């Protein structure tokens, strides 16, 4: 495999997988790992789509939990290309594939109501004024709703899912009400919610939420996930998630 420019080949946590990363584009974060572990996926079969896939971290991690087919969707060509080469390097092309394009048009390309699971780690923040944006276009698109907004993500997820299919998102607590309202608007009934705290005694800084298309109302709030202990070290739960300890 040929690395390009400033790319490097990193180990993907404790897993026997490698992923191409570069300091000039947005690297995967804990949020993506949390989502890949949180979402409910069929073990032996099924069809999964990951929107805003970046360098393919969520499809790679999901390949360890399911034998179903997984399609990643990424609008940035550089990240898409990195994801394709990571999939090839890990010899997972029989299970994982990538699409380069705008998620808003993806249902027209791959089909409506055909998928069992959709995941997304979307841009979190409203689009700032041009002069306030990160000068690095890759970082700006990954962080801000420049190419898609929350409604685009939730609407597309619903369009892709079969009735009874599941959609799972990771986001910021400040957008929780928006997420719940949009999920209901687009027939994704919220079913599981988990708050992630950087440390005990701090405010939550991340939420994980999963809904079922046309599901019945019954939202369960899971136990909180705490990342660091009082010594500023990973908690036992976080170490288990990240490194399998």
pLDDT at 46: 96
35: three-class secondary structure by DSSP: helix
Confidence of residue 73 (pLDDT cuts 50, 70, 90): very high
* CA distance linking residue 200 with residue 192, whole number of Å: 21
Percent of the chain exceeding pLDDT 70 equals 89
37-48, pLDDT tens digit by residue?
Answer: 999 999 999 999
- Nearest Cα neighbor of 70 from 129, 1, 125, 116 is 116
Q: Where are the domains of the chain?
A: 8-243
pLDDT digits 0-9 by tens, 104-160 = 999 999 999 999 999 999 987 676 556 555 555 666 566 666 678 999 999 999 999
Residue 153 has a pLDDT of 97
Neighbouring residues of 211: CB distance < 8 A, sequence distance ≥ 6: 166, 167, 168, 183, 188, 189, 190, 191
pLDDT digits (tens, 9 = 90+) for 188-231: 999 999 999 999 999 999 999 999 999 999 999 999 999 999 99
pLDDT at 27: 81
- Short-list 74, 166, 170, CA closest to 120: 170
- Predicted pLDDT of residue 130: 60
Q: Return the pLDDT at 55.
A: 94
Pick the CATH number of 8-243 from 3.30.750.24, 3.40.50.620, 3.40.50.150, 3.90.1150.10: 3.40.50.150
pTM for this prediction: 0.92
Whole-number average pLDDT of the chain: 91
CA 72 to CA 84: how far, in whole Å?
Answer: 9
Residues in the chain: 245
What was the pLDDT predicted at 135?
A: 57
| pLDDT computed for residue 141 by the predictor | 67
16-22: average pLDDT: 92
């Amino acid at each position: 495999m040929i690395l390009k420019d400033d790319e490097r080949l990193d180990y993907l946590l404790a897993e026997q997988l490698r992923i191409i990363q570069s300091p000039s584009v947005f690297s995967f974060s804990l949020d993506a790992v949390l989502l890949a572990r949180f979402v409910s996926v069929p073990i032996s079969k099924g069809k999964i789509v990951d929107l805003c896939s970046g360098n393919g971290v969520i499809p790679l991690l999901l390949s360890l939990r399911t034998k179903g087919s997984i399609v990643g969707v990424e609008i940035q060509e550089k990240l898409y290309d990195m994801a394709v080469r990571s999939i090839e390097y890990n010899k997972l092309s029989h299970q994982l594939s990538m699409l380069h394009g705008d998620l808003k048009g993806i249902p027209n390309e791959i089909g409506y109501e055909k998928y069992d699971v959709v995941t997304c780690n979307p841009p979190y923040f409203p689009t700032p004024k041009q002069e306030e944006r990160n000068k690095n276009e890759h970082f700006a698109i990954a962080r801000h709703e420049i190419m898609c907004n929350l409604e685009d993500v939730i609407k597309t997820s619903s369009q892709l899912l079969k009735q009874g299919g599941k959609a799972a998102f990771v986001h910021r607590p400040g957008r929780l009400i928006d997420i719940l309202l949009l999920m209901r608007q687009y027939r994704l009934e919220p079913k599981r919610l988990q708050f992630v705290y950087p440390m005990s005694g701090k405010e939550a800084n991340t939420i994980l939420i999963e809904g079922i298309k046309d599901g019945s109302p019954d939202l369960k709030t899971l136990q909180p996930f705490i990342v660091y202990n009082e010594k500023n070290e990973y908690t036992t739960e976080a170490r288990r998630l990240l490194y399998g300890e």
